[in-house]
């Protein structure tokens, strides 16, 4: 019977399984992405960044730095992320000529055009998803954090999951 994770291993490896397993996982994490490591980490807390309604019903998030993240990430970095997200959402909801033309075209075709075309908002949502993934990979994952795309929470909150700092390798 081979060790499922270490196929080239012998029977003797299975005896010291518990301690080795964790170390091996973290070593493997170096070859995979840091998100792998996080699979083994515990969720310590979740922070919710609420919506900011001061400019109306537009989708904007509060840039206030949550106290739970003080030890984890740089304030500037965090605010930069939120500000970029806010700008992206503002772009999605912008009343420009593009949205106007889209609206008129939709009306003229009795709204059947949306069966074949993606709306401007959806295109920007994809951009946002890419940006969040990029931020997670570059900035938040190495610090044991994970940003959740707000669209998965109904655009109510940005959920930031804080993972327990159990890593031996950082």
36 is a site residue for another protein (CB under 8 A): yes
23 is a site residue for another protein (CB under 8 A): no
Q: Which of 70, 74, 122, 165 binds another protein (CB under 8 A)?
A: 122
Among residues 145, 147, 149, 161, the alpha carbon closest in space to that of 59 is found at 149
54 versus 76: smaller Cβ distance to another protein: 54
Report which secondary-structure segment, H or E, holds 55. none
DSSP 125-146: HHHHHHHHHHHIIIIIGGGTEE
**What six digits make up the tokens of 117?**
């075309």
Interface characters, 81-100, with another protein (x: CB under 8 A):
-----------xxxx---xx
84 versus 157: smaller Cβ distance to another protein: 157
72 is a site residue for another protein (CB under 8 A): no
Cβ atoms of 163 and 70 within 8 Å: the answer is no
24 is a site residue for another protein (CB under 8 A): no
33 is a site residue for another protein (CB under 8 A): yes
155 φψ region: left (φ > 0), alpha (ψ -120 to 50), beta (else):
left
Cβ atoms of 34 and 142 within 8 Å: the answer is yes
Site for another protein in 125-164 (CB under 8 A): 125-126, 128-130, 132-133, 136-137, 146-149, 151-157, 159, 161, 164
Site for another protein in 46-65 (CB under 8 A): 46, 48, 51, 53-57
């Amino acid at each position: 019977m081979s060790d499922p994770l270490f196929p080239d291993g012998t029977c003797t490896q299975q005896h010291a399984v518990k301690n080795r397993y964790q170390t091996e996982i973290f070593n493997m994490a170096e070859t995979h992405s840091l998100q792998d490591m996080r699979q083994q980490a515990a969720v310590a807390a979740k922070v919710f960044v609420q919506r900011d309604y001061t400019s109306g019903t537009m989708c904007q998030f509060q840039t206030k730095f949550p106290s739970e993240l003080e030890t984890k990430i740089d304030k500037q970095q965090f605010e930069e992320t939120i500000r970029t997200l806010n700008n992206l959402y503002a772009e999605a909801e912008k009343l420009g000529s593009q949205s106007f033309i889209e609206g008129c075209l939709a009306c003229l075709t009795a709204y059947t055009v949306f069966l074949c075309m993606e709306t401007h908002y959806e295109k920007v949502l994809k951009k946002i998803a890419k940006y969040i993934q990029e931020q997670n990979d570059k900035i938040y994952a190495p610090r044991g954090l994970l940003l959740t795309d707000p669209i998965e929470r109904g655009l109510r909150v940005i959920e930031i999951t804080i993972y327990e700092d159990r890593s031996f390798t950082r």
